[in-house]
Structure 1
Amino acid sequence: MLDVAEHLFADRGFKDTSMEDVARAAGVTRTVVYGHFATKEAIFIACVHRARSDLEHRLRELVRAGNQVLMSEAFEQVADVFFQILETDPGRWAMLYSTGPGLSEDVVNHVATLRLDTVNRVADVIGHCVTEMEPDRINAYAHAVSGVTEQLGNWWLANPAASRGRVVALCRDFIMDGFSPWTDSNRGPESLSESHSAANTHVAFSNAADEAGPRRAVDRVREL
């Protein structure tokens, strides 16, 4: 039922999806739907919670992995967790960042709380990488990383010709170096890869992002 509801919310938006729509698509009666979820808001929150739980599970797995990689590779893998979801299931990505019309203040606040939980998981990753970093900086940087990945995801939806590997690399470069190559006359864009390969900070993670392209069948994700 959640699979059906998630698809409908992503395709039509919250406002234009009814409990009757969910029941019809799931092949059950409205009574069955209401037996599990008292309101449309409740089933929507359940969909968002499930999507967030999947994302956070993937982030936790990065911390649990035992292989040693460079800091830049670690950030690649964090970004790849986000962009894998966008590539394989744009509708779920839309659920993660839903703020569209029709949502009540209570639902918006609940979704914001779930989003903060994800930011906290990103903070766990950063704290695992850099144990000497002060807590308030870790928290601030986790919010920044979350914002960068969200906005780059929106950019990717508008530029689907880019591969996932390219988007991951752009995210990594921005987080690791930002505009520094353009503010030092002795450096240039080509120095980004050099600085990353020369990094000597190691952390526990698995393999870096691959170069799989975006899902071509999806032109855009409708705003929820």
Structure 2
Amino acid sequence: MPTIKKQGRPKSEEKYHMILHAASRLFLKEGFANTSMDTVAKASGVSKQTVYSHFESKDALFKAAITSKCRSYQLDTQQLINATSNALSLFECLQKVGHQFMRLLQDPDAIAIFRVIIAEAVNNPHVATLFYQAGPEASLETLSDVIETFGRGSLNHDLAHQLACDYCSLLKGDYHTMMLCGIQSPLSNEEIQSHVAQAAEKILLLFTHYTQQSGSRSSL
């Protein structure tokens, strides 16, 4: 009988991930300014032309690296949207997102890239903008949409966005700054669950307050 070869990922997809992985390592090690498409090509074992066939610029490659890290913690746009379609309550959704968010904050690579951004922001504010657009801004916008959806018309997008920002601020607290400074050990899973639950409860109170206010106004 003829041997049937197992289907793997298409070569183009494999090269995409090879390039993305190599670029992510270089951005962490060398920083954004010192990483070129040439060095990415060499590190990933492909031609420069192949790199450009997948990523039109270094900016696009950097944003893809940030998005990929968020996605690995289920914090990309589609995964956040899916959280509202699985019969979860708002509190459960906030807990799910918050737990993944806290894990991302204490990921060694995430801490390293934050430090890279801080180091380069003064002389290269463009890289800070790219990071914000691909990471925090994208996640905040989608979380805002999720919260607005749970409001069922009684919460406008601006208020939903403010609640999303407040939630992320509560989760970060002093903890994130201390992590960046290297004076905070990673939280245990139990500590994360407790911290997230407290933050989610506070946001749920604000959410309830705003939606009840809206209901009171509509009944006048």
TM score, norm. by length of structure 1: 0.60
Structure with higher Rg: it is: 2
**Sequence identity, in percent?**
23
> Could you tell me which residue of structure 1 aligns to residue 128 of structure 2?
108
1:144 aligns with 2:166: yes
> Could you tell me which residue of structure 2 aligns to residue 81 of structure 1?
100
In 1, Cα distance between the equivalents of 2:33 and 2:112?
Answer: 14
In 1, Cα distance between the equivalents of 2:159 and 2:165?
Answer: 10
Instruction: Please report how far the alpha carbon of residue 40 of structure 1 lies from its aligned counterpart in structure 2 after TM superposition.
Output: 2.8
Residue 99 of structure 1: SS of its match in structure 2?
A: helix
In 2, Cα distance between the equivalents of 1:12 and 1:164?
Answer: 32
> Could you tell me which residue of structure 1 aligns to residue 81 of structure 2?
60
In 1, Cα distance between the equivalents of 2:65 and 2:186?
Answer: 29
Instruction: Please report how far the alpha carbon of residue 119 of structure 1 lies from its aligned counterpart in structure 2 after TM superposition.
Output: 0.8
Structure 1 unaligned blocks of 5 or more: 179-195, 201-224
> Could you tell me which residue of structure 2 aligns to residue 45 of structure 1?
63
**Closer, same or farther: CA 99–25 of 1 in aligned 2, 3 Å:** same
> Could you tell me which residue of structure 2 aligns to residue 222 of structure 1?
none
Instruction: Please report how far the alpha carbon of residue 52 of structure 1 lies from its aligned counterpart in structure 2 after TM superposition.
Output: 4.6
In 2, Cα distance between the equivalents of 1:36 and 1:14?
Answer: 18
Instruction: Please report how far the alpha carbon of residue 164 of structure 1 lies from its aligned counterpart in structure 2 after TM superposition.
Output: 3.1
Instruction: Please report how far the alpha carbon of residue 112 of structure 1 lies from its aligned counterpart in structure 2 after TM superposition.
Output: 3.2
User: Which of 153, 163, 172 is equivalent to 2:197?
Assistant: 172
What CA deviation, in whole Å up to 9, does each residue of 1:149-195 have, x standing for no partner? 455445456433521341242133135349xxxxxxxxxxxxxxxxx
> Could you tell me which residue of structure 1 aligns to residue 23 of structure 2?
5
In 2, Cα distance between the equivalents of 1:110 and 1:118?
Answer: 14
What CA deviation, in whole Å up to 9, does each residue of 1:78-110 have, x standing for no partner? 2012234456x5425755897330674444334
Instruction: Please report how far the alpha carbon of residue 128 of structure 1 lies from its aligned counterpart in structure 2 after TM superposition.
Output: 3.4
Instruction: Please report how far the alpha carbon of residue 6 of structure 1 lies from its aligned counterpart in structure 2 after TM superposition.
Output: 1.4
1:28 aligns with 2:33: no
What CA deviation, in whole Å up to 9, does each residue of 1:38-93 have, x standing for no partner? 543332123224445552233122111124x572x432212012234456x54257
**Closer, same or farther: CA 80–7 of 1 in aligned 2, 3 Å:** same
**Closer, same or farther: CA 139–38 of 1 in aligned 2, 3 Å:** closer
**Closer, same or farther: CA 120–24 of 1 in aligned 2, 3 Å:** same
In 2, Cα distance between the equivalents of 1:76 and 1:129?
Answer: 15
> Could you tell me which residue of structure 1 aligns to residue 185 of structure 2?
160
Structure 2 unaligned blocks of 5 or more: 1-18, 209-220
TM score, norm. by length of structure 2: 0.61
In 1, Cα distance between the equivalents of 2:140 and 2:85?
Answer: 18
Instruction: Please report how far the alpha carbon of residue 26 of structure 1 lies from its aligned counterpart in structure 2 after TM superposition.
Output: 0.7
In 2, Cα distance between the equivalents of 1:97 and 1:137?
Answer: 31
Aligned length: 177
**Closer, same or farther: CA 177–45 of 1 in aligned 2, 3 Å:** closer
Instruction: Please report how far the alpha carbon of residue 19 of structure 1 lies from its aligned counterpart in structure 2 after TM superposition.
Output: 2.8
